[in-house]
Structure 1
Amino acid sequence: MTVHNAASNVRRVRTLFLSDVHLGSKAAKTDFLLDFLRCHEAATIVLVGDIVDGWRLKRSWYWPQNCNDVVQKLLRKARKGARIVYIPGNHDEFLRDFPGVHFGGIEVARQIVHEAADGKRYLVLHGDEFDVVVRNARLLAYLGDWAYDAAIVVNIALAAIRRRLGLPYWSFSAWAKLQVKHAVNFIGAFQNVVAEEARKHGADGVICGHIHHAVIEDIDGIRYINTGDWVESCTAVVEHWDGTMELITWQMPAARAAAVAALPRQAEKAALSDKAQEAA
């Protein structure tokens, strides 16, 4: 895995794979994602599910300006000629009713087979189809989602403290997940099942999301790639022009992160100032 700090130079890649952004969740790191999208241009962008968090939006509406900014950034890339494919996940499953439909230049598909520049074929899907809990026990999945939200709240508090101390971002929720034996066993079983699905399709590998565990590894001759998420790890996968796949963890420089974090506070102060002037 490559850790990148944001740079002024734009990286141009053949394909960009993103998943599990969870727009509509307070935990979504939209500022990190926007920074990443500013620094990367791709001929093809594949959104590998759970881009919009329909589950949370049903519980309570939360859609700040940054969510609009992410959508507008993707639409702008589509207008500039990038091919964008949206593969819905379980949190944005409402889009699964629209396979083949284009929204503003973004194509919806249940799954695709991506042929890389080196000729290797990858089955691309979200992965919730192979999660027994999501498929057969929806109530348990919702309870797990609630527990995950609680871990994310701890994550946000710790991240704020670490920022003040000048320390890099570290995910408590990701660390906690890997300390639980059942979670580790689930991740291993999920990876094996998804890799086997790729084999059934005659593919050389599989690219998925869903479990928020970013990795590139070989499983019995199948290249297994998980794009991770933009809630805990801020990871994405890029395909370079020679077909090489790279897993990137995105970290903004401290100065830019502080400036981005200050923007909502500055906007709020400006709004209060305007209201005071109107009252006067």
Structure 2
Amino acid sequence: MKIAVISDLHLGRGDRFDEFGHDDAEFLRFLDFLERNHERVVLAGDIWETLQGATPRRQARELAKARRAHAEIAQRFERPAYRYLHGNHDLVAGNVIEAPDVLHIEADGTRLLFTHGHQFDFVVKHARWFSELVAWLGGWALRLGLRPLYRTVEWIEGRIRGESRASPDKDRFQLASMALAARHEADVIVTGHTHNGMVTEHGERLFMNSGSCAGGRCSFLSLDTARGDYALSTSW
């Protein structure tokens, strides 16, 4: 089976503070490309931005506004080829449109586990209220033109998660992911959340992260279970 994975689009209200960063028509052409070359397209969380509205704790309203602002993309995601998992920035989609947090696929003798990965984030796991407050304040930082501060906060969050590109065996996010893969007896675990795309071997298991499609990026994973090919791409 050929499966594409994208995550962390952070589709917002369609205003100048929307972090998506794509022309919708052009992004639809990117989705056309994924559909032509894959049987499934997994949306691995944080597809919609619901935490950065002007008023806190209005996630359902923000989800509705984002879906209206990007109506053609929202309609595309309703096609049978798509599987949508919620993340922490679109957690409300779990209730509103019944988006699950985990997806299992077994194909060609390979067991695949897909999840956004916020479950492995120390702050989100132990103080979700604080992580949502930081996201809301980040939205206001963007409105006030304080983008450097916003990026600094993102960097700090990565340090708290314990990410390490140089030493995967010391990367707390990857290690927590692999522990979940072991519990589910999955051969491959696919995550998003960190915005850092990668493919890393951990013994007989494989860790994959789809990166981010926000900010004008087009990062995606391509899995071909029949051929045993698992790749990260940043252009199409």
Q: TM-score range by the shorter chain?
A: 0.7 to 0.9
Candidates 74, 86, 93, aligned match of 1:88: 86
Q: 2:12, 2:69 within 8 Å by CA — same for their partners in 1?
A: no
Aligned equivalent of 1:200: 183
> What is the distance in 2 between the residues matched to 1:192 and 1:247?
20
> What is the distance in 2 between the residues matched to 1:193 and 1:250?
29
Question: Does 1:247 find its partner at 2:232?
Answer: yes
Aligned equivalent of 1:216: 199
- With over 3 angstroms needed to count, the CA separation of the structure-2 counterparts of 1:66 and 1:234, relative to structure 1, is farther
Give the SS at the match of 1:69: helix
Question: Does 1:177 find its partner at 2:171?
Answer: no
Q: How does 1:55-134 map to 2 (within 5 A)?
A: 55-57=51-53, 58=58, 63=66, 67-75=70-78, 78=79, 82-97=80-95, 108-117=99-108, 119-134=109-124
Aligned equivalent of 2:12: 24
Aligned equivalent of 1:276: none
Question: Does 1:53 find its partner at 2:53?
Answer: no
> What is the distance in 2 between the residues matched to 1:238 and 1:216?
11
Candidates 27, 35, 39, aligned match of 1:43: 39
Question: Does 1:34 find its partner at 2:32?
Answer: no
Q: Provide runs of 4+ in structure 1 moved above 6 Å.
A: 151-156
Alpha-carbon shift at residue 147 of structure 1 (Å): 6.8
Alpha-carbon shift at residue 29 of structure 1 (Å): 2.8
Determine which structure has more spread, i.e. the larger CA radius of gyration: 1
Q: 2:47, 2:90 within 8 Å by CA — same for their partners in 1?
A: yes
Alpha-carbon shift at residue 65 of structure 1 (Å): 7.1
Root-mean-square deviation (Å): 3.4
Give the SS at the match of 1:216: strand
Candidates 206, 214, 217, aligned match of 1:231: 214
Alpha-carbon shift at residue 249 of structure 1 (Å): 0.5
CA-to-partner distance for each residue in 1:55-98, whole Å, 9 max, x for gaps? 124389564976222113333xx2xxx43211111111123237
Alpha-carbon shift at residue 218 of structure 1 (Å): 0.8
Give the SS at the match of 1:197: helix
TM-score (norm 1): 0.62
> What is the distance in 2 between the residues matched to 1:235 and 1:144?
25
Aligned equivalent of 2:167: none
Q: How many residues align?
A: 209
TM-score (norm 2): 0.72
CA-to-partner distance for each residue in 1:170-229, whole Å, 9 max, x for gaps? xx959x839x98357345211111111101111112001111111111123320001111
Q: Which consecutive residues of structure 2, in runs of 5 or more, have no partner in the other structure?
A: 165-170
AA at the equivalent of 2:162: N
AA at the equivalent of 2:101: R
> What is the distance in 1 between the residues matched to 2:146 and 2:30?
24
Give the SS at the match of 2:196: coil
Give the SS at the match of 1:55: coil
> What is the distance in 1 between the residues matched to 2:158 and 2:47?
28
Q: 1:30, 1:67 within 8 Å by CA — same for their partners in 2?
A: no
